[in-house]
């Protein structure tokens, strides 16, 4: 039986997100959920603390002989089959799709980048766009990604000492190891913004007509 540590570094307790993590399952798979609230660097902000907390989770995976580390950020709503789909890829590292929050990213774009050396942008890569995905569910290679929905095999976790929790550093480490960073375009996650709105992959902000999946809370019964 495969053993997965689903790890969420908590800064906000968002029930719709937390409940989606607890629903994760896959055949022949044991899932433990580890939520880390402690910030070791008081007053240092989220990102320095995130690097330390993610490194602790990596060490737990190695010490307790888990097969996978599944990193999920605290404002990410997973589809029920997210873990199962990511496991089916059976590669060292694979991520799901989500959009950035405008208040932190400045944009509401998809949080993975793909190679496009012929494009008009200055860099050799650019953010993935919805129009780039021809078949939802295909596996594509990325140049970088956030760690908001990231599944890492134990064998690769050994090689990520010192960079886990640092998005750009992970990409550079993978490049030196000649390991591709893959994205499953069928794992469409919601991202909860500061207002409580859930930003979908195929829609964003308050656009109502379509969601990649229904992640609204159940209506209360009067």
Q: Is the pTM of this model over 0.95?
A: no
Q: Give me the long-range contacts of 206-215 (CB less than 8 A, separation at least 24).
A: 212/79, 212/188, 213/79, 213/188, 215/16, 215/20, 215/77, 215/190
Alpha-carbon 101 to chain mean position: 14
Q: How confident is the chain (222 residues) per 10-residue block, as mean pLDDT? A: 95 90 96 91 81 92 98 94 97 94 64 84 83 91 93 96 82 94 94 84 48 39 46
> What is the spatial distance between Cα 41 and Cα 63, in angstroms, rounded to a whole number?
24
Note whether residue 41 is domain-resident: yes
The DSSP bridge pattern shows strands 149-153 and 190-192 to be unpaired
* pLDDT given for residue 105 in this prediction: 55
> What is the spatial distance between Cα 67 and Cα 62, in angstroms, rounded to a whole number?
9
The CA distances from residue 79 to 71, 132, 215, in Å, are 15, 21, 8
Note whether residue 96 is domain-resident: yes
Domain containing residue 8: CATH number: 3.90.550.40
Note whether residue 220 is domain-resident: no
* pLDDT given for residue 102 in this prediction: 65
Q: Which two tokens stand for residue 67?
A: 């097969």
> What is the spatial distance between Cα 187 and Cα 182, in angstroms, rounded to a whole number?
12
Q: Which of 159, 151, 148, 213 is nearest to 186 (CA)?
A: 213
Domain coverage including residue 65? 2-199
Half-sphere exposure of 184 (CA within 13 A, CB side): 24
* pLDDT given for residue 148 in this prediction: 92
Note whether residue 209 is domain-resident: no
> What is the spatial distance between Cα 164 and Cα 181, in angstroms, rounded to a whole number?
14
The torsion defined by the Cα of 13, 33, 171 and 104, in degrees rounded to 10, comes to 0
The total number of structural domains that make up the chain: 1
Note whether residue 207 is domain-resident: no
Note whether residue 212 is domain-resident: no
């Amino acid at each position: 039986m495969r053993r997965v540590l689903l790890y969420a570094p908590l800064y906000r307790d968002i029930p719709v997100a937390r409940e989606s993590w607890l629903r994760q399952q896959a055949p022949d798979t044991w899932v433990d959920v580890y939520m880390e609230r402690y910030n070791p660097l008081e007053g240092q902000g989220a990102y320095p603390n995130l690097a330390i907390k993610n490194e602790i989770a990596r060490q737990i995976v190695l010490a307790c002989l888990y097969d996978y580390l599944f990193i999920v950020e605290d404002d990410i709503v997973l589809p029920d089959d997210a873990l199962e789909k990511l496991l089916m890829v059976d590669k060292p590292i694979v991520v799901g799709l989500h959009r950035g929050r405008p208040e932190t990213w400045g944009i509401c774009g998809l949080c993975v980048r793909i190679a496009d050396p012929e494009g008009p942008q200055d860099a050799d890569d650019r953010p993935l766009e919805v129009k780039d995905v021809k078949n939802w569910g295909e596996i594509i290679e990325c140049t970088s990604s956030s760690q908001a929905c990231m599944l890492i095999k134990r064998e690769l976790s050994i090689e990520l000492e010192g960079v886990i929790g640092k998005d750009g550093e992970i990409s550079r480490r993978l490049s030196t190891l000649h390991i591709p960073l893959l994205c499953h375009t069928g794992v469409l996650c919601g991202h909860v913004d500061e207002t409580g709105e859930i930003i979908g992959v195929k829609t964003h902000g308050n656009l109502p007509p379509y969601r990649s999946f229904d992640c609204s809370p159940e209506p209360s019964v009067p």
